[in-house]
Structure 1
Amino acid sequence: MKNNFKGFIKDIIPVLLGVLLALWINNWNEERKDRKYIKNFYSSLIKEFRDTDKEITEKMPSQKALVDSLDFYSNNETLPLLTVIEKAGGVNGPLIKLNYWKALSNSKIELLEYKKLTILADIEEGNELLKYKRNKLLDFIYSNLTETGKKEKILLKLMMEELINTQIGVQKRIRKILNE
């Protein structure tokens, strides 16, 4: 009986070592693939965020021009809101690109370190807030295109300033990712 047990141990040890080695190699290979995936993800995300940062920066002056125009023409009660918007060059807003983040958040989110994950989630949340504010802004504009009163112009100005502040917050988070 003792001999059988020793033979069993001698036979099982190489099998166990082989299985453990195979598991270790498989884990190592999976980790290597994950690191490559995250590296490619960050590379693509950085390109997307650079484009977004540039677009926010480029759209900001025209948005501020609209705020200034609304302020300047607020006391002119003969000029409709639509004309003030046209004089300022329209209502311009940047497109916040989050395609790579959305793809990762639907698949391998657990591969991200917590700090970056939090910033990316904040950017997504800021983008959703921007969409909401833009929709409210456009609803207000469409409802008041022909209005000439000071109240409507000041309210639109405040809404634009709030939109700009939210964009600045999103841009700061994007730059935090770009500078890491």
Structure 2
Amino acid sequence: MKKIIKSIIREIVPIILGILIALYINNWNENRKDEKYIHQILLSIDKELKESNESINEKIPLQKTLIDTLEFYKNNDTISILNVMMKADGISIPSIKISSWKAISSSKIELMEYDRISALADIEEQKENLLSKTQLLMDFTYQNIKETGADKKELIALMMRDIIVSETGLKEEIKGVVENRTID
């Protein structure tokens, strides 16, 4: 009976060790793949955030030009909002890119640190807020495109200032995420 038990143990122990080694190697390989994935996604997020910051930096002067043009023609009842928009080359809105963040947030978010997740979620929320303000501005502008009154022009300028404030806050949030990034 002891010989049978010893024989069984001699056969089972190598099998169990083989299974444990295979599990270890599989876990190590999965961790390596996850590290590579998170490294690539963080690089992509940083690239998108830098492009978004550049877009904001390019658009704010154009938006200020629109505000100045609205202020200049505010009291001129012969110049419509459409004419002002044409003189200022329209409404310029930056492109805020967060598709890499959305990709990881819907798949492997557990691989990221909480502070980074929180900051990226804040950027996404600010982007949505900016889109909402932009849509409100566009709707108001199109509904009043033929108006010539100072009050409508002043309201558009006020909406543009509010958008610039939102963009500036978003820019600072992006800057904080990009500067605090640590990739091994």
Counterpart residue type for residue 92 of structure 2: N
* Partner Cα distance (2:135, 2:35) in 1: 39
- SS in structure 2 at match of 1:162: helix
> What does residue 139 of structure 2 align with?
139
Deviation of 1:12 (Å): 3.0
> What does residue 165 of structure 1 align with?
165
> What does residue 44 of structure 2 align with?
44
Deviates more, 1:2-11 or 1:141-150: 2-11
Deviation of 1:70 (Å): 1.9
> What does residue 97 of structure 1 align with?
97
Deviates more, 1:1-10 or 1:164-173: 1-10
* Partner Cα distance (2:37, 2:92) in 1: 35
Deviation of 1:106 (Å): 2.5
Q: How does 1:5-84 map to 2 (within 5 A)?
A: 5-84=5-84
Deviates more, 1:2-11 or 1:54-63: 2-11
* Partner Cα distance (2:7, 2:141) in 1: 86
The Cα RMSD (Å) is 1.8
Deviates more, 1:118-127 or 1:30-39: 118-127
Deviation of 1:88 (Å): 2.1
* Partner Cα distance (1:71, 1:19) in 2: 75
Gaps of 5+ in 1: none
- SS in structure 2 at match of 1:126: helix
Deviation of 1:4 (Å): 4.7
* Partner Cα distance (1:174, 1:3) in 2: 70
* Partner Cα distance (1:6, 1:111) in 2: 45
- The share of aligned pairs that are identical, in percent, is 47
Deviation of 1:3 (Å): 5.7
Cα deviation digits, residues 153-174 of structure 1 (max 9, x gap): 1111111111111112222222
Deviation of 1:76 (Å): 2.5
TM-score by length of 1: 0.90
Deviation of 1:63 (Å): 0.3
* Partner Cα distance (2:119, 2:71) in 1: 34
* Partner Cα distance (1:107, 1:149) in 2: 51
> What does residue 124 of structure 1 align with?
124
Cα deviation digits, residues 96-150 of structure 1 (max 9, x gap): 1122222222222221111111111111111112221111111100100111112
* Partner Cα distance (2:21, 2:63) in 1: 61
Deviates more, 1:19-28 or 1:67-76: 67-76
Deviation of 1:92 (Å): 0.5
TM-score by length of 2: 0.88
Gaps of 5+ in 2: none
Task: Give aligned pairs, total.
Answer: 180
